[in-house]
């Protein structure tokens, strides 16, 4: 069915169709090395798309097929993310900026995928979101805010700081989509995406951010804003 370079794919299970787009970095030296691994049957990993640093986008697995990019984890209370998602690998070693041509190509590709499959900005997530503690890509240097400005991802419009409460934070994070895990791992995952240069204990800004994000998924975030 795939007809594309990578043999590492299968059928989506249980009649699932893409409702998520998961963004990764390759953590390899260059795009040819990443492509070789993503197309190596022995590696048993793949992605639907690979975007190199010059902005070239290459399809590796048909979008209708199940690529092997997400691994263990969940989002929105459901596992088997591979069956529910399209995976995009960005050629990046993991500690470098994402070049302008690559980001521009990603924006074009995201818009097309979202239109093809009816996926909203809330369905665009990072590998670190669905696998907190296990994965860190696309990492602290990835510009989520840039994608959000074009309606290609979510970014919080946080109101005033709220009283720190770990239990409430965890509940709201899970309402937004994060899997259940220990609190420190969860806090680190949320900050990696939305406050990548912040450290220290849970604070009022963390609470305001997660309340806003959860409110977009039906939670009564206003009760935590004091309104």
HEC string of the chain equals CCCCCCCCEECCHHHCCCCEEEEEECCCCCHHHHHHHHCCCCCCCCCCEEECCCCCEEECCCCCCEECCCCCCCECCECCHHHHEEEEEECCCCCCCCCHHHHHHHHHHHHHHHHHHCCCHHHEEEHHHHCCCCCCCCCCCCCHHHHHHCCCCCCCCCCCCCCCCHHHHHHHHHHHCCCCCCHHHHHHHHHHHHCCCCCCCCCHHHHHHHHHHHHCCCCCCHHHHCC
Within this chain, do residues 178 and 130 fall inside the same structural domain, yes or no?
Answer: no
pLDDT in tens, 121-171: 999 999 999 999 999 999 999 999 999 999 999 999 978 999 999 999 999
Within this chain, do residues 144 and 171 fall inside the same structural domain, yes or no?
Answer: no
pLDDT at 89: 98
Domain boundary among 118, 149, 180: 149
Task: Find out whether 139 and 192 touch, Cβ atoms under 8 Å.
Answer: yes
Within this chain, do residues 78 and 28 fall inside the same structural domain, yes or no?
Answer: yes
Within this chain, do residues 16 and 57 fall inside the same structural domain, yes or no?
Answer: yes
pLDDT at 218 over 90: no
| pLDDT (average), residues 196-214 | 97
In a domain, 48, yes or no: yes
Token reading at 24: 């990764």
pLDDT at 219 over 60: no
In a domain, 3, yes or no: no
pLDDT at 227: 36
Task: Find out whether 111 and 117 touch, Cβ atoms under 8 Å.
Answer: no
Domain boundary among 149, 182, 198: 149
In a domain, 120, yes or no: yes
Within this chain, do residues 43 and 95 fall inside the same structural domain, yes or no?
Answer: yes
pLDDT at 61 over 90: yes
Within this chain, do residues 87 and 194 fall inside the same structural domain, yes or no?
Answer: no
CATH number at 141 reads 3.40.80.10
pLDDT at 179 over 70: yes
In our burial notation (b when 16+ CB lie closer than 10 A, e otherwise), range 142-162 reads bebeebbeeebbbbbebbeeb
Within this chain, do residues 141 and 30 fall inside the same structural domain, yes or no?
Answer: yes
Our count of domains for the chain comes to 2
Within this chain, do residues 132 and 190 fall inside the same structural domain, yes or no?
Answer: no
pLDDT at 226 over 50: no
In a domain, 161, yes or no: no
Domain holding 61, by residue range, is 9-149
In a domain, 97, yes or no: yes
Within this chain, do residues 80 and 192 fall inside the same structural domain, yes or no?
Answer: no
The fraction of the chain above a pLDDT of 70, given in percent, is 94
Q: Tokens 């937004």 correspond to what residue?
A: 176
pLDDT at 222 over 50: no
d(CA 173, CA 211): 8
pLDDT at 180: 96
pLDDT at 28 over 50: yes
pLDDT at 216: 84
pLDDT at 221: 44
d(CA 109, CA 156): 23
pLDDT in tens, 41-58: 999 999 999 999 999 999
Within this chain, do residues 174 and 93 fall inside the same structural domain, yes or no?
Answer: no
Please identify every residue annotated as catalytic.
89
In a domain, 160, yes or no: no
pLDDT at 90 over 70: yes
Within this chain, do residues 117 and 65 fall inside the same structural domain, yes or no?
Answer: yes
């Amino acid at each position: 069915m795939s007809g594309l370079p990578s043999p590492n794919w299968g059928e989506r299970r249980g009649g699932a169709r893409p409702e998520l787009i998961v963004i990764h970095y390759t953590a390899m030296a260059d795009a040819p090395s990443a492509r070789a691994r993503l197309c190596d049957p022995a590696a048993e990993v793949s992605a639907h798309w690979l975007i190199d640093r010059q902005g070239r986008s290459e399809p590796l697995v048909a979008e209708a097929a199940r690529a092997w990019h997400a691994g263990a984890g969940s989002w929105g209370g459901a596992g088997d993310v591979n069956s529910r998602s399209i995976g995009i690998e960005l050629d990046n070693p993991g500690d470098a900026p994402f070049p302008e041509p690559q980001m521009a190509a990603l924006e074009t590709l995201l818009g097309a995928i979202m239109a093809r499959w009816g996926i909203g900005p809330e369905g665009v997530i990072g590998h670190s979101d669905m696998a907190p503690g296990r994965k860190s890509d696309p990492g602290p240097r990835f510009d989520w805010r840039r994608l959000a400005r074009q309606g290609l991802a979510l970014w919080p419009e946080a109101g005033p700081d709220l009283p720190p409460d770990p239990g409430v934070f965890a509940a709201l994070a899970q309402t937004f989509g994060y899997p259940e895990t220990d609190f420190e791992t969860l806090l680190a995952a949320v900050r990696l995406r939305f406050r990548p240069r912040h450290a220290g204990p849970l604070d009022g800004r963390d609470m305001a951010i997660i309340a806003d994000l959860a409110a977009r998924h039906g939670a009564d975030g206003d009760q935590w804003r004091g309104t």
